[in-house]
Amino acid sequence: LGEAAAVLAHMATQEWPRQPEAAPGVYHTLHDYDEQAQLIEVDLLPSWYIPFTKNLEATTEQRESFAAIWSELLALARPKTQQWTIRDFHSPNLLWIPERVGLKRVGIIDSQDALMGHPAYDLVSMAQDARVDISVSLEDYIIQQYVALRQRQSAFDVDDFMTAYAVLGAQRNTKILGIFARLNKRDGKPQYLKHMPRVKDYLIRNLRHTALQPLKQWFLTHTPDLFS
The per-residue pLDDT for 106 is 93
pLDDT in tens, 79-106: 988 999 999 999 889 999 999 999 999 9
Of the candidates 196, 166, 169, the one whose C-alpha atom is nearest the C-alpha of residue 182 is 196
pLDDT band at 121 (very low <50, low <70, confident <90, very high): very high
Count Cβ atoms below 10 Å from residue 100 Cβ, excluding itself. Answer: 11
Question: What average pLDDT does the segment 153-158 reach?
Answer: 88
Q: What percent of the chain has pLDDT above 90?
A: 88
Has residue 74 got a pLDDT over 90?
A: yes
Of the candidates 15, 39, 41, 20, the one whose C-alpha atom is nearest the C-alpha of residue 30 is 20
The per-residue pLDDT for 193 is 97
The per-residue pLDDT for 34 is 96
pLDDT band at 169 (very low <50, low <70, confident <90, very high): very high
**Are the beta carbons of 180 and 187 closer than 8 angstroms?**
no
pLDDT band at 40 (very low <50, low <70, confident <90, very high): very high
Average per-residue pLDDT in the chain? 95
The per-residue pLDDT for 153 is 83
Angstrom distance (rounded) from CA 44 to CA 103: 35
The per-residue pLDDT for 148 is 96
The per-residue pLDDT for 167 is 98
Angstrom distance (rounded) from CA 9 to CA 175: 25
Strands 83-85 and 21-23 turn out to be unpaired
pLDDT in tens, 18-38: 999 888 999 999 999 999 999
pLDDT in tens, 44-66: 999 999 999 999 999 999 999 99
Tell me the torsion sign for CA atoms 132, 146, 103, 167: positive
